[in-house]
A and B are shown apart, each in its own frame.
Chain A
Amino acid sequence: MAPNVLYHCPCLSTSSAPPPPHLASSSYNFHPLHALFFCEECDAVRCNRCVSVEVSGYYCPNCLFEVPSASVRAEKNRCARNCFMCPNCRNTLSVVPSDPPDAGDGRLSAPISTVGEPPFFLYCNHCRWDSSEVGITFEKPTGLAAQLQKLEDAAPDSLEFDRLKEHFEPIIRASSLSSSSSVAPSTSHSQHHSNPITAAASAALARDIPGVAKYTPHARSGRPSGKDRSANKDEMPEYKSRLDISHASNYGSGGGDVDVDFMRRLEDVSEVASLQQRWNYSWSTSIETRDLKPLRIPLHSKRSKRCPACTHILIKPEPKAQSVRYKIKLVAANYLPAINVALPHQIEMLGHISAEAAKRSTKAPVDGDKDARSGLQAGKTYPFHMSLTNPLYDPIQVRLSVQRMHVAAATSSGEGGTTEKARRPPFAISIPTTPFSVAPFAEAWEYEDDEEMFGLDDDELEARLSGREKETKSKSKTVGVLEKRANVTVVGGEVALGKEARGEVKFNMLVAYTYRSDDPAPSEGHDASPSKKAVPETKTFAFYTVVDLGNIISKEEPRIDPYDV
């Protein structure tokens, strides 16, 4: 895995310092920069786990139709037009007409009309499933979901559900009337918070507690002897199912004998629908794949997000489904310097490998090989580069510091492999501790001195960096500011791995940067700006990151070379 830097959002932890990076739960505290927001009011980073989300529009991801929020609920959050998914492969289904009537000349006749011949059915271009297999055909090729909705409303589960509702409604109503009067004894006002069904039942109980008041010989004799006197103790009228399970199971569903027989003779697993394909059905349905129905495509929503503390909007998309722009966009990438980390020896190696791969015509992937050569080996020392990119229009002063690791805390980890983690910290990090500056962001044409930077994408940049690195390495300077250009400053660090080192090289790094603030800061006294009072026009913001340099390849574990086989 390529080395990366993730940014800390303090929403999960109770302190501003991040948890030690090797704990399994810690990874959720860190996010890639592009997934973070920045609240200007609170002067704080916000992540997707803590922002409050509001839906600002619904649309179908397939047809991009914007669904008015009024109809979303009724349409069950599904596209109500012609968008369906294949029940087998989740591919989008297309509506196809039936074969045109055979003209008799053996040639494919050109489509007669644009819509084609009815009946229409849904067809999967991937797995060739078609809806006529389950008896779903349409008279016209539009408004299919509406046509299917009728079927859905008449589904046995919703009918049965309504019947149940009617069964319980009068009882609930009756009990809510009586519960206030009859159930009062020891329980005070908080009775109102109790389960109304419980209340209902207790109301019934107050009238006729089985075995208490009316459980007398008189009552016993009053009943017909043939009938079970205890038949209906809870005073509930018997509910008669619309379709009960013993009948439903006759048609091969509900886990009855028919299903058992089917399973016993099963020859091919694919004849049984997977759990995911049928777990949505609350009704006992057939377990066979061939009975699966097409799925309506779930809607997506456009969301605006608010800061959880001050409820200011952090991001707000344009409501149009086709638009990918935002009306408000306070993303952290515009506020925090972007940090990229690279291992120069890895990049070199990648260059080698790609060159080799270009020369060789073998199609065999070289992943394992690449890992082995470019990984971090225990007992060695590696330089690494961090390039900081300033998104602000002002120059910033950056100070980096590595968070101290607590070995004691390292002994515990929720997942397995505690022993290897107990042996931390197996590595030592050295990075420049003196502040350095990163030039302000400017439009590309304003960087006069560095013309050849134009049109280079990141990979090439990094390749260039590694090229320069070679020069600097010859001067044996690995720790410190290596390069400054445009709004990027590259600093070098070094990681020394212990002999016994295993696991991942991951460390927390505090990044504090000072910038000139034009406006008087509205948010006073937040922890992010301690130096503000001293120098009013500059502000300091500090944030934590976790730097992951990759896995250590321990020496005792020999890599299997695929070419040895």
Chain B
Amino acid sequence: MSTVPQTPRAKTVFNPSTPTTSRITNSQVQSSPHYSTTRRHSLYGVEDRIIIDPGSLIWKVGFSGEGRPREVFYAGGKPAKGLWGLKRATDAAERLEEDKLLDIRLEQNLRAVFHDSLLTDPKARKVIIIENPLLPIHIKEALARILFGNLQVPSVSFASSHLLSLLAVGRITGLVLDCGNLESVVLPIFAARPLFTQLRTTPQAGQRFISHLRSLLLLFGTYVAPTSPGIANLPQASRSMRVPQEILTNEVLEEIKTRCCFVGDSLAPSASEPADNGPTPDDSVVSSDIDVPPASDPAQSESEFSFAGRESGMSSQHDSSEYSVISTPRMEGRPQDRPPGNENRLQVLADMYMRHSTATDLRLRVEPPASMANNSTLGYGTIIIPGWIRERTAEVLFEGGDVDEGSLAEIILDALLKVPVDLRKTLASSILIIGGTSMLPGFIPRLYVELLRAISPPQPPFRQPIRPDKSPPPQYDRYATLRPLIPYLTILNNPSPPAPLSDRAKNNGGKAPAFSPATMSWVGGSLAGALKTGGTEVSREKWDEADPEIEDENTWMSETPARNNRQAQQQSRALQIPPARNVLPDWTRLPLPVGAPSVAINSASVGGVSQTHLPTTQARVGA
């Protein structure tokens, strides 16, 4: 049955129920052979909206009603640097400068979208912006300001990327994990309503991957300098060295990530096995951590089941610098002044990974850095990337850090813990993974394995033999309540679904259309545009009404008072005084549910539904 997915009769098996559904089924039966005739795109018309998926790193743009984006590009230009990071400057002047730069770059990109990529008149096109629920409001404002002010588009809608991705797989209910560049966000969505209050997030995403890759390559990669003509050809061995910092630009790392890396099988079964026989890396790490009182490191005890427990020291040390990598190059010179303990830990990690990897080493040609390229070198240098780095860099995504940086599996389960009980089964059986980082081959199957591992009962703590006199406290079993869901845990777009444990899993697992995870939200946006829906629409009139600045837009060149006024406003914006107008939809401004949310969830599903859904609709209306 499943081998013939086109057969419309299969539909009726699934939907025997209400008259409405049967009507839908009929319409599908009738029209499905006539795809070409249903492609009623207007040729001259401008009904098709512009769909912009503005990521911090990559933008995807195109027209609604099309199956793929017209153009995809790096937002920050060639150096593959993100437009914004997770952090904003705290200093007012610095922030003003940062915002200015952001404004300029956004404007540059948006103008290029209309004038270079899509070659269309912005004044005639409605725009749908696909937004991550955690897209900062000041970026949203900047986007709207440029679209309305500089480009004069008639209307802008903001639609949640998670919801749109669900549309792209033909659903309106599901648990969506967006593993993007800056952060991974899990958002449960029920009946097209994002349950924003149950959103979970972690910075374990593309940027973290990149910085982990960088530190691994700095330590374990090899760089072969280009040959020089003067001296007789040196053998490769004498030209080899550690990878210099300046070679590992974001661009190169991005290339390594997208062309060389993949996600191998879980370490779990084989990793626990050598733990029994003799000294293992795990033990050595733990023993090196003895001096650290366990209570002071909550991450260690909390994510015991993940590998992070063994090297949480390393990863937390890591984190402190990784934030800065995004904005400032504080990473410079790190391997030198990195404390030896950390290097040890990385070494231990490397040993473990190496044992669990069979991937081939790869050579990547790179341009020698400017400082090392003198006149006497020819051609390209080569980075030798060990196979285990290719396979195991992604481990960082599956390892939790501290409480705020859970692993991907953990945040999915956390979100499941938070949703109303009666929705858990539904949501657990329709998990959807989107986002660029999840394009790594093997990512989604591995995530499924990690989910199972995270939900399984915690292992007895490692530290037990150290203090034999004390009886171990009862294990904190965070996901015990979720364990009945195991047979239902299903990833919709799992390319290699495991043997299903339940009917539901069988119906859902891997049954999503084969859109690539990275473009799924764009495709959903295109679909929403084609269906004349999409998020809350803000028309230009509404924007102009709400915005006193725009009124004097036409005359501000000549009027000094107006200009001063503007300046004052801009300064006030820079100082984080909320701007006077708030026409843009923003779920964070919605009124909090009455009473404690947990009560609402636990008490009855009635409360859960009414209190979490209705404010959402209100937020769409108000704000």
Asked if chains A and B come from one complex, the reply is yes
Is there a chain A Cβ closer than 8 Å to B216's Cβ? no
Whether the Cβ atoms of A565 and B516 lie closer than 8 Å is: no
Q: A245-B493, A275-B259, A527-B558 are in contact. Are A204 and B191 (CB under 8 A)?
A: yes
Whether the Cβ atoms of B69 and A280 lie closer than 8 Å is: yes
How far does the Cβ of B315 sit from chain A's closest Cβ, in whole Å? 25
Q: A244-B514, A274-B259 are in contact. Are A165 and B530 (CB under 8 A)?
A: yes
Is there a chain B Cβ closer than 8 Å to A359's Cβ? no
Contacts of B374 in A (CB 8 A): 560, 562, 565
The residue on B at minimum CB distance from A271 is B259
Contacts of B328 in A (CB 8 A): 416
Of listed B97, B255, B535, residue having the most chain A CB within 10 A: B97
Contacts of A330 in B (CB 8 A): none
Contacts of B570 in A (CB 8 A): 14
Is there a chain A Cβ closer than 8 Å to B71's Cβ? yes
Q: A14-B563, A246-B509 are in contact. Are A265 and B192 (CB under 8 A)?
A: no
Is there a chain A Cβ closer than 8 Å to B602's Cβ? no
A74 to B63, CA, bound (A): 11
Is there a chain B Cβ closer than 8 Å to A194's Cβ? yes
Whether the Cβ atoms of A77 and B97 lie closer than 8 Å is: no
Contacts of B522 in A (CB 8 A): 282
How far does the Cβ of A533 sit from chain B's closest Cβ, in whole Å? 15
Q: A236-B171, A240-B11 are in contact. Are A257 and B514 (CB under 8 A)?
A: no
Whether the Cβ atoms of B21 and A237 lie closer than 8 Å is: yes
Within 8 A of B (CB), among A273-288: 273-275, 279-285, 287
Of listed B259, B497, B620, residue having the most chain A CB within 10 A: B259
Whether the Cβ atoms of B533 and A269 lie closer than 8 Å is: no
The residue on B at minimum CB distance from A414 is B97
Is there a chain A Cβ closer than 8 Å to B177's Cβ? no
Whether the Cβ atoms of A52 and B515 lie closer than 8 Å is: no
Contacts of B145 in A (CB 8 A): none
A252 to B192, CA, bound (A): 32
Is there a chain A Cβ closer than 8 Å to B335's Cβ? no
Encode B251-285 as 1/0 by CB contact (under 8 A) with A: 00011001111111000000000000000000000
Whether the Cβ atoms of A283 and B567 lie closer than 8 Å is: no
Contacts of B523 in A (CB 8 A): 157, 161, 282
Is there a chain A Cβ closer than 8 Å to B503's Cβ? yes
Is there a chain B Cβ closer than 8 Å to A200's Cβ? yes
How far does the Cβ of A86 sit from chain B's closest Cβ, in whole Å? 18
Within 8 A of B (CB), among A453-469: none
Whether the Cβ atoms of B168 and A245 lie closer than 8 Å is: no
Whether the Cβ atoms of B263 and A260 lie closer than 8 Å is: yes
How far does the Cβ of A276 sit from chain B's closest Cβ, in whole Å? 8
A265 to B94, CA, bound (A): 48
Is there a chain B Cβ closer than 8 Å to A170's Cβ? yes
How far does the Cβ of B72 sit from chain A's closest Cβ, in whole Å? 4
Give the contacting residue for B28; candidates A28, A166, A195; CB below 8 A.
Answer: A166
Whether the Cβ atoms of B514 and A171 lie closer than 8 Å is: no
A525 to B559, CA, bound (A): 10
Tell which of B290-298, B402-410, B436-444, B468-476 binds the partner. B436-444
A28 to B364, CA, bound (A): 35
Whether the Cβ atoms of B190 and A244 lie closer than 8 Å is: no
Whether the Cβ atoms of B255 and A164 lie closer than 8 Å is: no
Encode A474-496 as 1/0 by CB contact (under 8 A) with B: 00000000000000000000000
Give the contacting residue for B72; candidates A15, A204, A280; CB below 8 A.
Answer: A280
Contacts of B171 in A (CB 8 A): 234, 236, 239
Whether the Cβ atoms of B31 and A198 lie closer than 8 Å is: no
Whether the Cβ atoms of B68 and A196 lie closer than 8 Å is: no
Contacts of B325 in A (CB 8 A): none
The residue on A at minimum CB distance from B440 is A255
Contacts of A269 in B (CB 8 A): 259-260, 362-365
Whether the Cβ atoms of A77 and B118 lie closer than 8 Å is: yes
Tell which of B196-204, B232-240, B450-458, B609-617 binds the partner. B609-617
A54 to B35, CA, bound (A): 34
Q: A241-B512, A266-B260 are in contact. Are A414 and B439 (CB under 8 A)?
A: no
Within 8 A of A (CB), among B328-367: 328-329, 358-360, 362-365
A183 to B621, CA, bound (A): 13
How far does the Cβ of A543 sit from chain B's closest Cβ, in whole Å? 13
Is there a chain B Cβ closer than 8 Å to A312's Cβ? no
Whether the Cβ atoms of A164 and B168 lie closer than 8 Å is: yes
Encode A209-241 as 1/0 by CB contact (under 8 A) with B: 111100100000000000110110111111111
Contacts of B516 in A (CB 8 A): 254, 281-285
Tell which of A185-193, A321-329, A333-341 binds the partner. A185-193
A384 to B535, CA, bound (A): 58
Contacts of A23 in B (CB 8 A): 97, 100
How far does the Cβ of B436 sit from chain A's closest Cβ, in whole Å? 8
A237 to B25, CA, bound (A): 9
Is there a chain B Cβ closer than 8 Å to A72's Cβ? yes
Whether the Cβ atoms of B262 and A14 lie closer than 8 Å is: no
Contacts of A156 in B (CB 8 A): 514
The residue on A at minimum CB distance from B514 is A248
Whether the Cβ atoms of B534 and A195 lie closer than 8 Å is: yes
The residue on A at minimum CB distance from B522 is A282
Is there a chain B Cβ closer than 8 Å to A409's Cβ? yes
Q: A198-B193, A245-B513 are in contact. Are A212 and B606 (CB under 8 A)?
A: yes
Give the contacting residue for B512; candidates A53, A210, A244, A264; CB below 8 A.
Answer: A244
Tell which of B132-140, B302-310, B421-429 binds the partner. B421-429
Whether the Cβ atoms of B527 and A260 lie closer than 8 Å is: no
Is there a chain A Cβ closer than 8 Å to B618's Cβ? yes
Q: A25-B100, A194-B536, A244-B514 are in contact. Are A231 and B167 (CB under 8 A)?
A: no
Is there a chain B Cβ closer than 8 Å to A534's Cβ? no
A255 to B173, CA, bound (A): 24
Contacts of A155 in B (CB 8 A): 67
A25 to B20, CA, bound (A): 57
Contacts of A409 in B (CB 8 A): 93
How far does the Cβ of A153 sit from chain B's closest Cβ, in whole Å? 7
Contacts of A28 in B (CB 8 A): 104, 108
Whether the Cβ atoms of B28 and A167 lie closer than 8 Å is: yes
How far does the Cβ of B487 sit from chain A's closest Cβ, in whole Å? 11
Q: A245-B493, A255-B439, A269-B259 are in contact. Are A239 and B170 (CB under 8 A)?
A: yes
Whether the Cβ atoms of B67 and A157 lie closer than 8 Å is: yes
A73 to B65, CA, bound (A): 12
Within 8 A of A (CB), among B459-489: none
Give the contacting residue for B262; candidates A171, A259, A282; CB below 8 A.
Answer: A259
Contacts of A284 in B (CB 8 A): 495, 514-516
Whether the Cβ atoms of B255 and A195 lie closer than 8 Å is: no
Of listed B358, B375, B445, B609, residue having the most chain A CB within 10 A: B375
Whether the Cβ atoms of A195 and B192 lie closer than 8 Å is: yes
A163 to B513, CA, bound (A): 10
A166 to B530, CA, bound (A): 11
Is there a chain B Cβ closer than 8 Å to A552's Cβ? no
The residue on A at minimum CB distance from B621 is A190
How far does the Cβ of A522 sit from chain B's closest Cβ, in whole Å? 14
How far does the Cβ of B120 sit from chain A's closest Cβ, in whole Å? 7
How far does the Cβ of B256 sit from chain A's closest Cβ, in whole Å? 9
Which residue numbers of A lie inside 8 Å of B, CB to CB? 10, 12, 14-16, 23-25, 28, 42, 44, 49-50, 52-55, 58, 69-74, 76-77, 153, 155-172, 174, 183, 186-188, 190-191, 193-198, 200-202, 204-205, 209-212, 215, 227-228, 230-231, 233-249, 253-257, 259-260, 262-269, 272-275, 279-285, 287, 299-301, 303, 308-309, 364-365, 409, 411-414, 416, 525-527, 560, 562, 565
A-B contact pairs, 23 of them (CB 8 A): A69-B44, A70-B44, A169-B531, A186-B614, A193-B536, A197-B528, A212-B609, A237-B21, A240-B5, A242-B513, A243-B514, A249-B514, A254-B493, A255-B439, A255-B440, A267-B362, A274-B258, A274-B259, A282-B523, A283-B514, A283-B515, A364-B375, A412-B91
Beyond A238-B15, A274-B255, 9 extra complex contacts between A and B, CB < 8 Å:
A49-B107, A160-B513, A162-B38, A167-B28, A233-B426, A235-B191, A237-B21, A249-B510, A249-B514
Closest 6 CB pairs between A and B?
Answer: A239-B170, A246-B510, A256-B495, A249-B495, A248-B514, A157-B67
